[in-house]
Structure 1
Amino acid sequence: MNEPLKIGIIGLGKMGGIRAATVRQHDDTVLISGTDPNPPKKGFNDMKILPDYRAVIESGVDAVFVCTPNRFIPEVVIAALDAGKHVFCEKPPGRNMADIERIMAAEKRNPGLVLKVGFNHRYHYGIMEAKKIVDSGKYGKILWMRGVYGKAEGSGKPGEWRNSPALAGGGILFDQGIHMLDLFRHFNGEFNEIKSMCTTAFWDFPLEDNAFALLRDENGRIAMLHSSFTQWKHRFTLEIFMEDGYVIVDGMPSSTRSYRDEWIIEGRKHTGFAIGNPPEQATFCNTDPSWEKELEEFVDCIRHDRPVQNGTSRDAYETMRLVFGIYDADESFRERAAAVLREA
């Protein structure tokens, strides 16, 4: 029987804590070491706290989880890959396209290592069920999609790294809305045309707090996104309408419980008495399997030398390309954002 995979965690904030808890629960992983500029006093007593990320990489681990602010992710990921370690990193893996391109170059020169990016929303129960429905073809081809993803908490914290252009590289679209863009791609594939408007409508920081976008693929399918940091009632909704029916994922079983519990709703279009109000089938879910399933795939890829299926570096590249395409499609925002990032 194999020894458990030895894991190091670089960055012991919120996401580092979630990843550590998931590693502890898995039968084939064990925590070895971790690092953080300000290590928490509690919650990581079962690992060695080391002075920096290089010490973690050199502590005998098989793989590292990179849970740092966006600015530091490329440096750490590249160092870990070049040291022969498997890597799981949070999204987005950097602040710009040059960052992800550097990471992909490191991945290419280190074949045989697993690199996975944390797009955990693909593993939500509702998303997995919706993917089965869409892929079954029971309702025909996708016509259009609409996604709303928004929150309010933490927005006004002046010291929050996600509000800093120098550390984050983008606002709510880059931090949270990127998940919805990844899901658009997960269901539909790539998009080649973008229209958008981005704004800082309320919060006093130099990044966008709302982004509105229309995306179109080469076959004419359209996806519409609203990503918001002023969604006072937290919301996650993904609607997928097809030729003969639809599926809706509404709600998300987050750890904060501030989003409504998850419902998966499907219905078939009617042309008779029920036109416009067809019978629906609804399934309820109040658990979140995403962290465990994400780790399971990472471990499975390492153990069996299999390619990553969800959360590849290419997924990260193409989704970041959409983010920056949305920024660039709004000319006035593009000019303002460029000035802000130059000063960062």
Structure 2
Amino acid sequence: MSISVAIAGFGKMGKIRAKTILDNKDTELVAIYEQNDEYICNDNLASLSVESFEDLLAANPDAIFICAFNHVAADYTIRALQKGIHVFCEKPPAKNTTELMQVLAAEESAKTVLKYGFNHRLHYSVSEAKKIIDSGRMGKLLWLRGVYGKAGSIDYQDNWRNFKNYSGGGILMDQGIHMLDLYNYLSGLNFEVVSATLQNSFWPVGVEDNAFVLLQSDSVMASMHSSATQWKHKFLLEMCFENGFVNLDGILSDSRSYAPETLVVAKREFEDVTFAMGKPAENVTWFENDDSWKLELAEFVAAVKGEEKIGHGTSEDAYKVLDLVERIYAKSGFYD
């Protein structure tokens, strides 16, 4: 069974999703809605262009990928669900949890699939780390520490992601949300916000370009720095356990500017007459391929066919991380 798919929004993410849809034997791209016609420069795809989201719905696809501005994500999702169309929506799921609650109500009454795009969960390094953690051999989790930073871009101040009425927030909403989702996924914990300091330190925009966050769940502490002034791109998630540590150092992307992607695992060693304390032997695994986009689509297709349920990027996952982001904003007082 071939699944007909439409795309709302054909910027960077829309193009990435289109490629995976075109490459998948079970999906057929049938319509694209993009406000800026210049974004659809592929002659073969230009013929699929429609003039409005209403036209996209009228094409009656089996599924819609929502890759549009954050401020329309919830509305588009609700309207598609109400028409009985399966939905794959990029993160963030909405500008705030109030909007997302309306989506959840629509999902409850719909008989369709809803999945959110948190592709970091399906990077091979993350999948392997999850297996190690779930095996229990590292013991109890003690703390997490993460840094996710980028350098912005030459036109960063003009990017829609930095206009709060379109995005709902700055670098925390755009990139930090991925790191927070990994905290939720890998730890299985619920975090309270101990402190949060957001600042606009460099970019002439009305949203935060740095977020420093401290979280706590029972006895587990977690800190995160999400930055748009990390002049050398950086992804690092360190997790310390009773018996050692598991680190995700680097992550593959189209630009490969966060590469290499490695998983570093080591067992705790105490000082003795032979070995120096604090220098345990590390097992480093390197990853050369990022199939996360394909794996996300495959899971979505399988759910649409009724072969399995959504395991990554459920509406519950989306609500949990958006609620955490919202509480961080509230704690910081940055937008008060």
Q: Determine the C-alpha separation between the residues in 2 that align with 1:193 and 1:164.
A: 25
After superposition, the Cα gap between the structure-2 partners of 1:41 and 1:320, relative to the gap in structure 1 and judged at 3 Å, is closer
Q: Could you list the per-position Cα deviations for residues 176-220 of structure 1 after superposition, in whole angstroms to 9, with x for gaps in the alignment?
A: 000000000001121134311111111111100000111111x21
Q: Which residue of 2 aligns with 1:341?
A: none
1:57 and 2:57 aligned: yes
Q: Which residue of 2 aligns with 1:108?
A: 108
Q: Could you list the per-position Cα deviations for residues 62-100 of structure 1 after superposition, in whole angstroms to 9, with x for gaps in the alignment?
A: 000000010111111111000000000011022111111
Q: Which residue of 1 aligns with 2:219?
A: 220
> Where in structure 2 are the equivalents of 1:29-48 lying within 5 Å?
29-39=27-37, 40-43=39-42, 45-46=44-45, 48=48
Q: Once superposed, what is the RMSD of the aligned Cα atoms?
A: 1.4
Match of 1:5 among 3, 6, 29: 3
Q: Which residue of 2 aligns with 1:311?
A: 313
SS of alignment partner, residue 18 of structure 2: helix
CA displacement at 1:263 relative to structure 2: 0.8
Q: Determine the C-alpha separation between the residues in 2 that align with 1:155 and 1:242.
A: 40
One-letter code aligned to 2:308: R
Query: Once the two structures are aligned, what percentage of the paired residues are identical?
Result: 42
Q: Which residue of 1 aligns with 2:170?
A: 171
Residues 269, 275 of structure 1: 8 Å contact kept: no
1:130 and 2:129 aligned: yes
> Where in structure 2 are the equivalents of 1:166-245 lying within 5 Å?
166-188=165-187, 189-217=189-217, 219-245=218-244
CA displacement at 1:275 relative to structure 2: 2.3
Q: Determine the C-alpha separation between the residues in 2 that align with 1:193 and 1:157.
A: 29
After superposition, the Cα gap between the structure-2 partners of 1:213 and 1:41, relative to the gap in structure 1 and judged at 3 Å, is closer
Q: Determine the C-alpha separation between the residues in 2 that align with 1:193 and 1:324.
A: 10
> Where in structure 2 are the equivalents of 1:235-314 lying within 5 Å?
235-271=234-270, 272=272, 273-304=275-306, 306-314=308-316
SS of alignment partner, residue 231 of structure 2: coil
CA displacement at 1:156 relative to structure 2: 4.4
SS of alignment partner, residue 224 of structure 1: strand
SS of alignment partner, residue 55 of structure 1: helix
Q: Determine the C-alpha separation between the residues in 2 that align with 1:155 and 1:294.
A: 31
Match of 2:14 among 7, 13, 16: 16
CA displacement at 1:108 relative to structure 2: 0.9
Give every structure 1 segment of 4 or more consecutive aligned residues whose post-TM-superposition deviation is greater than 4 Å. none
CA displacement at 1:104 relative to structure 2: 0.8
1:162 and 2:158 aligned: no
Q: Could you list the per-position Cα deviations for residues 97-149 of structure 1 after superposition, in whole angstroms to 9, with x for gaps in the alignment?
A: 11111111110111x31000100000011111110111111111211111100
> Where in structure 2 are the equivalents of 1:324-335 lying within 5 Å?
324-331=326-333, 333=334
CA displacement at 1:324 relative to structure 2: 1.4
Q: Which residue of 2 aligns with 1:147?
A: 146
One-letter code aligned to 2:83: A
CA displacement at 1:25 relative to structure 2: 1.0
Q: Could you list the per-position Cα deviations for residues 42-74 of structure 1 after superposition, in whole angstroms to 9, with x for gaps in the alignment?
A: 236245111111211221310000000101111
CA displacement at 1:157 relative to structure 2: 3.3
Q: Determine the C-alpha separation between the residues in 2 that align with 1:43 and 1:75.
A: 28
One-letter code aligned to 2:150: K
CA displacement at 1:315 relative to structure 2: 1.0
Q: Which runs of 5+ in 2 are unaligned?
A: none
Residues 10, 40 of structure 2: 8 Å contact kept: no
SS of alignment partner, residue 116 of structure 1: strand
Number of residues paired by the alignment?
Answer: 330
